[in-house]
Structure 1
């Protein structure tokens, strides 16, 4: 499991299999469909124990690159689970989140689309995450007003992708909202929702009002963290 060849090629090979199925009109997702659950469980265990470094030779570069995931249809809006995978990837890439606990901090009420006017009079849109603020002084003695100011200063942001709207965090977040019911959009304790198994691509809603389970999120993160760009950032 700690062989450098395995580290570089195992995730890459599985993504290639997924791409082959998609391009041949096979709509199975080997990372989420029930019939592949045993494979997915074992594959996640392997990824969880891989150590992407070799002391004698330096850092092992992953074979999985971000653009490759877009090409393999593992990122995008092709299905509910792929859309969730994409939002998780963006949060890893732009917010630096690498654990399920960090992603659980997100909620619909804490993510906001903001538009600002630049000096050249163009407009730029971003997706901002505002950490939870407290209205009362905490036991550590930090005044509530200062704590709130600190949280605002620590706001996390994803900028829109004007060059490629299909890869744009803001556009895909807006699409995610359009596939969620109105009842969840004001929730302060939910963001990643469990896909509705009865939906089809043309369904108005793709997601239930229940949170995505931790095991599924952990498996998705294990795969995403093999991406070279995320490893470089870490």
Structure 2
């Protein structure tokens, strides 16, 4: 079991058993849940899939080919077939009237399909962060989301199809995999710290973060004390400021716990690179299973590219809470242009 030293200032080192924490969190996150009780309506995505399946299958029959056949439930496809069908779905899906869906509606439908496969069918694929197999799907979705613009009513109300809760429900956010852990840190830094461009995210280094005892921390033995994640950005809207993200009441959604696990699962860098200059966003190691007991989940050979970070931004800019954070930053900038 790997033990993580918690970085502190003028305090004894606190040790955290990350693997034990991870087992507890993953066990809690995998407790059976009914999709009927969730805010994200999986049925919308599944209905759109069935309509598209019916249309493509009919078109294939009329043309005398088998290529267009798609089963009415995506769970009937293996991983490679699913990846191909999802890319086609994103490009071809239409409303029953024949009109195109809004960009964020296409994303919502895909989240519903992800939730259906993960929650209702027990499938492990995360096709939003599934590596090379789902590249064409992610590329197609990014093309759709490129045309997304926030909708605001005349009275100033922000209209968003997707909320943060939906991402938690379909396991895009959380400790479910090396990919979702990394994506969640990216999401938190975008929402709470004001990193709103791919360039700002790409410039992050590990040395800009520290774990420190939270104000009023009760103990120093790792059992009862609480911590804060301290972040000092060097560029962008938040440059020159110091942020502290405190522990959340729900450990499944706690930025401090997420960072602790991420730090523990990073590889050791050579002495010439290790330390403050270590790049922050490391790619998951696709050669590993990334089980809770695996000491390393990420590769030191590659970082998330700026292009991939931009695709992630395209995705989360459709989320209500992110749009609210962006609008808040823009309002602050309009009052004080030197703040950004």
Q: TM-score, normalised by structure 2?
A: 0.57
**Alignment correspondent of 1:110:** 208
- 8 Å CA contact retained: 2:104, 2:145: no
Question: Given the alignment, which residue of 104, 110, 129 partners 2:231?
Answer: 129
Question: CA 1:116 to 1:80, structure 2 compared with 1: closer, same or farther past 3 Å?
Answer: closer
Relative contact order higher in (CA < 8 Å, ≥ 6 apart): 1
- How far residue 182 of structure 1 moved from its aligned partner, in angstroms, is 2.4
Is 1:64 aligned to residue 162 of structure 2?
yes
C-alpha offsets along residues 115-160 of structure 1, whole Å, 9 cap, x if unaligned?
Answer: 1433999965211112449xxxxxxxxxxxxxxxx93xx1122221
Is 1:17 aligned to residue 128 of structure 2?
no
**Alignment correspondent of 1:143:** none
What SS does structure 2 have at the residue aligned with 1:157?
strand
Question: Given the alignment, which residue of 140, 150, 158 partners 1:52?
Answer: 150
Is 1:159 aligned to residue 246 of structure 2?
yes
**Alignment correspondent of 1:206:** 297
Q: In terms of Rg, which structure is larger?
A: 2
Q: TM-score, normalised by structure 1?
A: 0.80
What SS does structure 1 have at the residue aligned with 2:159?
coil
**Unaligned regions of 5+ residues in structure 2, if any?**
1-98, 327-340
Question: CA 1:10 to 1:185, structure 2 compared with 1: closer, same or farther past 3 Å?
Answer: farther
**Unaligned regions of 5+ residues in structure 1, if any?**
134-149
**Alignment correspondent of 2:262:** 176
Q: Map 1:82-101 onto structure 2 (within 5 A).
A: 82-101=180-199
Distance in 2 of aligned mates of 1:49 and 1:84 = 25
Please report the RMSD computed on the Cα atoms of aligned residues, expressed in angstroms: 2.9
Distance in 1 of aligned mates of 2:134 and 2:217 = 52
- 8 Å CA contact retained: 2:210, 2:229: yes
**Alignment correspondent of 1:29:** 126
Distance in 2 of aligned mates of 1:94 and 1:64 = 18
- 8 Å CA contact retained: 1:193, 1:208: yes
- How far residue 69 of structure 1 moved from its aligned partner, in angstroms, is 0.9
Across the two proteins, how many residue pairs are aligned to each other? Answer: 214
- How far residue 185 of structure 1 moved from its aligned partner, in angstroms, is 5.6
- How far residue 189 of structure 1 moved from its aligned partner, in angstroms, is 4.3
Distance in 2 of aligned mates of 1:117 and 1:56 = 43
- 8 Å CA contact retained: 1:7, 1:62: no
**Alignment correspondent of 2:318:** 226
